[in-house]
Amino acid sequence: ILNVEQSPQSLHVQEGDSTNFTCSFPSSNFYALHWYRWETAKSPEALFVMTLNGDEKKKGRISATLNTKEGYSYLYIKGSQPEDSATYLCAFETTTISNFGNEKLTFGTGTRLTIIP
Amino acid sequence: KAGVTQTPRYLIKTRGQQVTLSCSPISGHRSVSWYQQTPGQGLQFLFEYFSETQRNKGNFPGRFSGRQFSNSRSEMNVSTLELGDSALYLCASSLWQGQETQYFGPGTRLLVL
């Protein structure tokens, strides 16, 4: 069973502040690391798919970095806004394919972010 | 382009019954994956279909099965329902397998009484 951990579990941030959180994943059999934003009563929304060590991706005020050698990724949000309130999920995609009993995507339990106006 | 659709959105069943959930992927997407979300477990991978073939399967009992049709639409079936099967079932589609952005549907919320 693959272990994907996210920290912190929850976070309250003042509007306008910047914040970041962590996703830790196995450093072997790495294929991709996915980040999603999941707002209440909506579908998870893809933010990034990261595949190369050292990758940095950016989408507006949100950016992410990837370190596959040590098995972690950071998600950064600059100048938090109320609409950033959501649960942020990361998911580890393994190279092990077509093996029954193996997860294709293993999700962390998420970081629940609340922006305080 | 229409997003991923799932039907039904809500479902109430009793123990021992079976249920079939449906997922229509984004047009042109060939990979469909299914996930179960429960409060204690988070999102758990059920299986993935690509070109009508099951390519990956998560650690779920044989009561959980699925299939994919030639138009990439997918169905998931759960037989002999148990209380613990109460969950949100999400499907996600992507263009191809591997390293691809997955687009999620709104989910089917199943309650087993």
3-state secondary structure A58-86: EECCEEEEEECCCCEEEEEECCCCHHHCE
Q: Could you report the per-residue pLDDT of B44-71, keeping only the tens digit for each?
A: 999 999 989 998 888 899 999 999 999 9
Instruction: Indicate the average pLDDT of chain A.
Output: 91
Interface contact A116, partner B, CB < 8 A: no
Q: Could you report the per-residue pLDDT of A89-108, keeping only the tens digit for each?
A: 999 988 765 444 345 788 99
pLDDT at res. A28: 85
pLDDT at res. A45: 95
| Distance (Å, whole) CA A62 – CA B22 | 33
pLDDT at res. A103: 56
pLDDT at res. B99: 78
pLDDT at res. B76: 97
Question: In the predicted model, is pLDDT for residue A1 greater than 70?
Answer: no
DSSP class of B85 = G
Closest residue to B57, CB basis, from A1, A34, A100: A100
Which whole number is the average pLDDT over A51-59? 94
Q: Could you report the per-residue pLDDT of A19-45, keeping only the tens digit for each?
A: 999 999 998 888 899 999 999 889 999
Sign of CA dihedral A101, A38, A116, A50: positive
Q: Could you report the per-residue pLDDT of A76-86, keeping only the tens digit for each?
A: 999 999 999 99
Per the model's pLDDT, the better-predicted residue between A18 and A103 turns out to be A18
Residue A111 vs residues A22, A29, A38, A92, A98: alpha-carbon distances, Å: 9, 24, 10, 15, 30
DSSP class of A104 = S
Q: Which residues of chain B have pLDDT under 70?
A: 1
Question: In the predicted model, is pLDDT for residue A17 greater than 50?
Answer: yes
pLDDT at res. A102: 46
Residues 6+ apart with CB under 8 A from B68: B32, B49, B50, B51, B52, B53, B54, B74
A21 alpha carbon, distance to own chain's centre: 8
In the structure encoding, which two tokens stand for residue A107, read together?
């999700």
Closest residue to B56, CB basis, from A36, A89, A97: A97
Q: How many CB atoms lie within 10 A of CB A104?
A: 27
Query: Are A105 and B97 a contacting pair at CB < 8 A?
Result: no
Buried b (16+ CB within 10 A) or exposed e, B68-84: beeebbbbbebeebeee
